[in-house]
Amino acid sequence: MVQLVKHDLQFILKQIKIAEAHSAGTPLDQIRVDADGNISTNPADPLAIPTTLSPYGLRTVDGSYNNMVAGREQWGAADNPFPRITDPDYRNEGDDAMPVGYVPGNNNDYGNLDQSVVDADPRIISNLIVDQTLDNPAAISAALTHAGLTGAAQLPAIRAIQTAHQAVKAAAPGEARTAAEAALKVVLDGYQIAMDGNSVIIPNVAPDEGLSAPYNGWFTLFGQFFDHGLDLVTKTGGTVYIPLSPDDPLYNPASPHTNFMVLTRTSNGGEN
């Protein structure tokens, strides 16, 4: 249960007053407050937001003033283009193809914004990132690292775990499966790896050995990128066809011609 004290309420009220002054037309970097926290027009009073990193005021609906540095007030705001910070360098790998019977073929060259491309990599990468089963050696490696086993010593451990896991998958239901599962548990316990159903438990630990909170501001920025950088951007380019691999959870062997996903490409300099 959240408990608020007077200081908390005063802080919230101060932020509301700053936002009201801003919405009334005063630039955020010019709003001043008096000793009581009230908006002031006295140039001798301190700025309500004294530095570009001060966490004061409320977020604007259109995203303006997310960046308080002079000249950057509209960075990331609505109706502004996403600028490039590097020069694009595309190559046509040509290693992916649509299911038989579809026209897009295997063009993988993103250089022409009006062209449709076929690219299985985004889905494969996504599945690798979220796959915390014993089929993914990266998940096993992360769990081993948390347990204190790092470097080359992980290789035999990963092989042992995956061998025991494959034995479970190959065993017929009954006593053979039960024995294989018991053997797998012995191997996992030996390496201090815990499971939650079919998923390997990988605790979320900050990179400074857990001294800080596991989530920080980058978690928010990552969400902003996905919401605005991918969803809320003008889509005027070609189409990205993403064929599914046979081991994809969404792959339907009974309907082989429909096993693909579709995205619409954005134009160069698309707007937020």
Within a domain: 47: yes
Mean pLDDT, the chain, whole residue set: 87
Within a domain: 205: no
- Residue 160: give the domain boundaries: 133-200
Specify the number of domains making up the chain. 3
76 & 93 share domain: no
Could you tell me the pLDDT band of residue 228, with boundaries at 50, 70 and 90? low
117 & 60 share domain: no
Region for 194 from its dihedrals, namely left if φ exceeds 0, alpha if ψ lies in -120 to 50, beta otherwise: beta
For 153-193, the pLDDT digits (tens) are 999 999 999 999 999 999 999 999 999 999 999 999 999 99
CA 31 to chain CA mean position, Å: 35
144 has a pLDDT exceeding 90: yes
231 & 118 share domain: yes
Could you tell me the pLDDT band of residue 247, with boundaries at 50, 70 and 90? confident
The pTM assigned to this predicted structure is 0.61
Do the beta carbons of residue 97 and residue 111 sit within 8 Å?
A: no
Region for 71 from its dihedrals, namely left if φ exceeds 0, alpha if ψ lies in -120 to 50, beta otherwise: left
147 & 263 share domain: no
Within a domain: 6: yes
Within a domain: 214: no
* Cβ count near 77 (within 10 Å): 16
Within a domain: 127: no
For 63-104, the pLDDT digits (tens) are 888 888 988 888 878 888 777 788 888 888 888 888 877 766
Token pair belonging to 62: 């259109």
114 has a pLDDT exceeding 80: no
Q: Cα(214)–Cα(208) distance, rounded to whole angstroms?
A: 10
Query: Of 50, 80, 110, which residue sits at a domain end?
Result: 80
For residue 36, give the nearest of 48, 51, 52 by alpha carbon: 48
69 & 15 share domain: yes
pLDDT value of residue 1: 67
Within a domain: 264: yes
Within a domain: 68: yes
Residue range 234-250: mean pLDDT, rounded: 85
146, 174, 199 from 155: Cα distances, Å: 15, 31, 20
Token pair belonging to 109: 């060259």
Within a domain: 211: no
